[in-house]
């Protein structure tokens, strides 16, 4: 049981490049989400999904795209990377809402130069 797996762990991009952060979970969780973590800001929600084929925007969605074609996978796409997207990205998943434990991936460190 691998839990939540994120790849890559580290990435350096040039401004304007695109890339996809991968997230996969093997717990059959319906809810998946992406957060970014910036110093002194905590974690902020980018996009989330409550099931295959359903996605919605979070607090900071601009510049990011997501899709949920399967229960297991929830990739995050940076369409045209900007230095402001330099951050640590976390994928999370849970079964059901509210009090159920949320599981986080190990994080992806992204630098845009």
Partner 1 sequence: AQSVTQLDSHVSVSEGTPVLLRCNYSSSYSPSLFWYVQHPNKGLQLLLKYTSAATLVKGINGFEAEFKKSETSFHLTKPSAHMSDAAEYFCVVIRAGSYQLTFGKGTKLSVIP
CB of 16 to partner 1, least distance (A): 27
Residues that bind partner 1 (CB under 8 A): 31, 33, 35, 40-45, 48, 50, 58, 90, 92, 94, 97-99, 101-102, 104-107, 109
CB nearer to partner 1: pick between 19 and 104: 104
Per DSSP, helices labelled H in the chain are none
Distances (CA, A) of 103 to 4, 15, 92, 100: 7, 31, 5, 10
Residue given tokens 């460190």 in the structure block? 109
Contact 82, 15 (CB under 8 A): yes
Q: What DSSP character marks residue 102?
A: P
Close Cβ partners of 42 (under 8 Å, ≥ 6 residues apart): none
CB nearer to partner 1: pick between 17 and 37: 37
CB of 87 to partner 1, least distance (A): 14
> CA 20, CA 60: separation in Å to the nearest integer?
17
CB nearer to partner 1: pick between 57 and 80: 57
CB of 101 to partner 1, least distance (A): 6
CB of 1 to partner 1, least distance (A): 16
CB nearer to partner 1: pick between 81 and 92: 92
């Amino acid at each position: 049981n691998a839990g939540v797996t994120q790849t890559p762990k580290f990435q350096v991009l040039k401004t304007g490049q695109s890339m996809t952060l991968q997230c996969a979970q093997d717990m059959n969780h319906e809810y998946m989400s992406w957060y970014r973590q910036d110093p002194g800001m905590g974690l902020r929600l980018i996009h989330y999904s409550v099931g295959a084929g359903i996605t919605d925007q979070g607090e900071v969605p601009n510049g990011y795209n997501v899709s949920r074609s399967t229960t297991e996978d929830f990739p995050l796409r940076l369409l045209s990377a900007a230095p402001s997207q330099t951050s640590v990205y976390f994928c999370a998943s849970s079964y059901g809402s509210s009090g159920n434990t949320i599981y986080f991936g190990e994080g992806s460190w992204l630098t845009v130069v």
